[in-house]
């Protein structure tokens, strides 16, 4: 159904440490109330090309906007560096809306989110610190290297499947269950399929963007129109999709992989399918605000995220722990499919077409 377009990236057939494909390519915690701004110590005075010096933050406060892993990174980073983190957490739409509202007076120093197209848009509009290579970037996997833009405006910290196929084993056996993305439009699954809203959930937009790019805009609209005509249910975020599976409102879903594995490992009667043509991936990236007054702390945080020990901790302890790490020497979850294939939309393309695609969904989907 989905043929990889020239601008797309995939990780081959091995989801652990995959090789690069053709051209360079190119979210989701429950919403919380925005954190208040913290008082900061004296600003750092690093130039854009320099790396931060020895890890001794002297209590300086760094404001990070993110949508996952705050309970893990805050204590680890503070203990290792001496810096303090002021975290603002929310879903993808909330974080990006906040950044847009603050455009004339940004309150953030670093943004770290699984929404690479949106972060690419910040880079293209001149809002990010460019031309800087963090320590650890030389240890990126071949798959992850493709996601570093020529500007060096952001760096990948991992890629997860924004959607795998999940089905209720009480309703379908392996033979009758969907195996490809095209199958979700089959009339036998009418009114049974659910997915997250690409206008709300950070990883849901990269999911749909892959189809729109690989198929072409018109064919992408045709594909999702076929799902809508088949009664697809669109929920705000992936946890809502899981709830709909639990409640029996749907029997099949395009579900973010961490949600899928967590649900299955909790004893749910479901199976997870990684389609042979690939699962659209959402790349989590970290970027520094161009005019940050805390450049040393911001650089230290990005380097912290590229540390193998940090990424291993995210996998071992995180709620969103099922992903392909971006750094060599990090081990993915043992029950994650060793042959998982990720395919990722080109970030500049996805960024350029983000508003149009999200508007199309808003106008056409039935939630």
pLDDT of residue 33: 37
pLDDT of residue 299: 98
Instruction: Say which residues have a Cβ less than 8 Å from residue 161's Cβ, sequence separation at least 6.
Output: 256, 257, 274, 279, 280, 281, 282, 322, 340, 342
pLDDT of residue 339: 87
Structure tokens at 44: 């750092």
The model's pTM is: 0.84
What are the two backbone dihedrals, phi and then psi, of residue 48, each rounded to the nearest 5 degrees? -65, -30
Classify 126 in phi/psi space as left (phi over 0), alpha (psi -120 to 50) or beta. Answer: left
Please tell me the distance from the alpha carbon of residue 109 to that of residue 42, in angstroms, as a whole number: 14
Please tell me the distance from the alpha carbon of residue 212 to that of residue 117, in angstroms, as a whole number: 13
Q: What is the CA radius of gyration of the chain?
A: 20
CATH code, residues 164-280+356-364: 3.40.190.10
Chain mean position to CA 33? 21
- CA geometry: angle 338, 344, 349, nearest 5 deg: 175
Question: Do 116 and 285 contact (CB within 8 A), yes or no?
Answer: yes
Structure tokens at 307: 């540390």
- CA geometry: angle 136, 50, 74, nearest 5 deg: 55
Residue with tokens 């230290």: 300
Structure tokens at 186: 């089959």
Find the distance separating the first CA and the last CA of the chain, reported in whole Å. 25
pLDDT of residue 200: 87
Please tell me the distance from the alpha carbon of residue 253 to that of residue 48, in angstroms, as a whole number: 44
CATH code, residues 9-160+284-337: 3.40.190.10
Report the SS3 class of residue 147: coil
Residue with tokens 């009667």: 269
Structure tokens at 156: 């990948």
Question: Do 209 and 350 contact (CB within 8 A), yes or no?
Answer: yes
Residue with tokens 């943004």: 111
pLDDT tens for each residue of the chain, 367 residues long? 333 333 456 665 443 433 333 333 333 333 333 433 333 333 333 344 444 444 577 889 999 999 999 999 999 999 999 999 999 999 888 999 999 999 999 999 999 999 999 999 999 999 999 999 999 999 999 999 999 999 999 999 999 999 999 999 999 999 999 999 999 999 999 999 999 999 888 889 999 999 999 999 999 999 999 999 999 999 999 999 999 999 999 999 999 999 999 999 999 999 999 999 999 999 999 999 999 999 999 999 999 999 999 999 999 998 899 999 999 999 999 999 988 999 999 999 999 999 999 999 999 975 4
The CATH 3.40.190.10 domain(s) of the chain lie at 9-160+284-337, 164-280+356-364
Please tell me the distance from the alpha carbon of residue 220 to that of residue 296, in angstroms, as a whole number: 43
Helices (H), 61-129: 70-81, 92-101, 116-124
C-alpha closest to that of 142 among 9, 303, 341: 9
- Locate the DSSP E strands across 96-208: 110-113, 154-161, 164-168, 193-196
- CA geometry: angle 154, 155, 159, nearest 5 deg: 125
């Amino acid at each position: 159904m989905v043929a990889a377009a020239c601008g797309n990236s995939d990780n081959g057939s091995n989801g652990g440490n995959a090789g690069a494909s053709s051209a360079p390519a190119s979210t989701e915690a429950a919403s919380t109330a925005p954190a208040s701004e913290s008082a900061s110590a004296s600003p750092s005075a690093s130039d854009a090309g320099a790396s931060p010096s020895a890890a001794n933050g002297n209590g300086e406060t760094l404001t990070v906007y993110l949508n996952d892993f705050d309970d893990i990174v805050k204590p680890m980073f503070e203990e290792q560096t001496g810096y303090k983190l002021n975290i603002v957490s929310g879903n993808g739409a909330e974080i990006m809306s906040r950044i847009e509202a603050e455009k004339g007076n940004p309150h953030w120093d670093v943004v770290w989110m699984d929404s690479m197209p949106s972060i690419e848009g910040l880079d293209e509009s001149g809002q990010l610190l460019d031309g800087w290579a963090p320590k650890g970037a030389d240890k990126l996997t071949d798959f992850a290297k493709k996601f570093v833009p020529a500007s060096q405006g952001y760096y990948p910290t991992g890629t997860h499947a924004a959607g795998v196929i999940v089905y209720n084993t009480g309703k379908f056996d392996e033979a009758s269950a969907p195996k490809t993305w095209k199958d979700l439009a089959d009339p036998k699954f009418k009114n049974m399929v659910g997915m997250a809203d690409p206008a709300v959930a950070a990883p849901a937009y990269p999911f749909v963007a892959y189809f729109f790019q690989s198929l072409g805009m018109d064919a992408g609209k045709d594909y999702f129109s076929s799902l809508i005509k088949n009664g697809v249910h669109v929920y705000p975020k992936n946890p809502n999709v899981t709830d709909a599976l639990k409640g029996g409102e749907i029997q099949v879903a395009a579900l973010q992989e961490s949600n899928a594995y967590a649900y299955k490992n909790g004893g749910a009667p479901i199976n997870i399918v990684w389609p042979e043509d690939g699962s659209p991936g959402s790349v989590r990236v970290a970027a520094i605000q161009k005019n940050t007054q805390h450049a040393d702390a911001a650089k230290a945080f990005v380097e912290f995220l590229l540390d193998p020990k940090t990424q291993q901790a995210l996998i071992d302890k995180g709620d969103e722990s099922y992903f392909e790490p971006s750094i060599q020497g990090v081990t993915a979850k043992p029950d994650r499919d060793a042959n998982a294939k990720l395919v990722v939309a080109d970030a500049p393309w996805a960024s350029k077409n983000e508003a149009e695609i999200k508007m199309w969904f808003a106008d056409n989907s039935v939630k």
